[in-house]
């Protein structure tokens, strides 16, 4: 077996920023039981394996593995995989068009390709496969303990910490800007929370913290960090699925029955891997009907996995 792979940094326009991803664009030779071991070997937050679609009108079936488990959906793996497949097609003198369609466990994921003025693919924007789901509330004291913060650092005026999902659940909480900078995950507190609280995800407790940014021309609207030590990712430099859930949650609180919310988010700064994500949510007749997250990608490496 000789399986080609490419690595790409997602939600950045330069190498060694953003979130790392390994992509196997043709994984037909790779057995399912080998996929998680390959993901462990790369030691990135996720690795994707591209397979023929079950329905011919779709682009591919995509399987997503963390270091420990297979995910039904994730953000940066979809953006990065679409970028890799599209650039591969460009190399071959063909084009994947405007939108690719990925079959995943959580559902069908449309991904729109981003191109520069010369027509080259530079990134992608996904549409979440599931509608916004807002679940259990989580006590602010629990969030503070998990993030190593004082209770007062967790803000609840806009909303309490809440389990939110558009395909993958996260506990989303707003914190002060200073608290976001100093937050440090406490694995024991995460384990206690996953064991004692009604948190979706089969004990997988992923905490997504955000803070309002200072603003100004060219500045992001929000800053964010994501911790998931029980899932093998102590901290993630860019979490598309969590950011997608966030923009959907914030749109749901907007008093307008029909609106479009657009936000820019910076994540990964504290890790030395700055990432920038463009978020969007459409609300119609009081319900959030579509959530999007996108950004640019930077190719890094290419190689072959040998049997």
- Tens-digit pLDDT string for the chain (307 aa): 799 999 999 999 999 999 999 999 999 999 999 999 999 999 999 999 999 999 999 999 999 999 889 999 999 999 999 999 999 999 999 989 999 999 999 999 999 999 999 999 999 999 999 999 999 899 999 999 999 999 999 999 999 999 999 999 999 999 999 999 999 999 999 999 988 887 655 567 899 999 998 766 777 899 999 999 998 899 999 999 999 999 999 999 999 999 999 999 999 999 999 999 999 999 999 999 999 999 999 999 999 998 6
Ordered by where they begin, the domains of the chain are 2-129+296-306 (3.10.310.10), 133-293 (3.10.310.10)
CA dihedral of residues 15, 18, 20, 25 (deg, nearest 10): -80
CA distance 266 to 220: 6
- Which residues carry out catalysis? 46
pTM (2 d.p.):
0.94
CA distance 243 to 224: 9
């Amino acid at each position: 077996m000789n399986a080609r792979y490419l690595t790409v940094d997602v939600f950045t326009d330069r190498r060694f920023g953003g979130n790392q991803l390994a992509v196997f664009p043709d994984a037909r030779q790779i057995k399912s039981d080998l996929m998680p071991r390959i993901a462990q070997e790369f030691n990135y937050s996720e690795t994707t394996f591209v397979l023929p679609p079950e329905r011919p009108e779709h682009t591919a079936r995509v399987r997503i593995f963390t270091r420990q488990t297979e995910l039904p959906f994730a953000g940066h793996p979809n953006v990065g995989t679409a970028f890799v497949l599209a650039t591969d097609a460009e190399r071959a003198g063909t084009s994947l068009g405007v939108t690719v369609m990925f079959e995943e466990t959580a559902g069908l994921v449309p991904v729109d390709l981003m191109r520069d003025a010369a027509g080259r693919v530079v990134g992608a924007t996904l549409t979440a496969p599931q509608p916004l789901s807002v679940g259990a509330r989580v006590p602010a004291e629990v969030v503070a303990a998990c993030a190593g913060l004082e209770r007062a650092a967790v803000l609840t005026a806009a909303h309490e910490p809440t389990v939110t999902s558009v395909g993958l659940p996260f506990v989303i909480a707003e914190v002060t800007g200073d608290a976001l900078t100093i937050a440090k995950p406490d694995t024991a507190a995460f384990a206690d929370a996953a064991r004692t609280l009604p948190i979706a995800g089969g004990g997988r407790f992923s905490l997504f913290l955000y803070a309002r940014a200072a603003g100004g021309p060219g500045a992001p609207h929000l800053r964010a960090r994501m911790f998931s030590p029980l899932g093998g990712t102590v901290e993630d430099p860019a979490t598309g699925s969590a950011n997608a859930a966030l923009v959907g949650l914030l749109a749901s609180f907007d008093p307008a029955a029909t609106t479009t919310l657009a936000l820019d988010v910076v994540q990964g700064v504290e890790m030395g891997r700055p990432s920038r994500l463009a978020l969007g949510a459409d609300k119609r007749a009081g319900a959030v009907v579509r959530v999007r997250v996108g950004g640019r990608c930077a190719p890094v490496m290419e190689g072959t996995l040998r049997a």
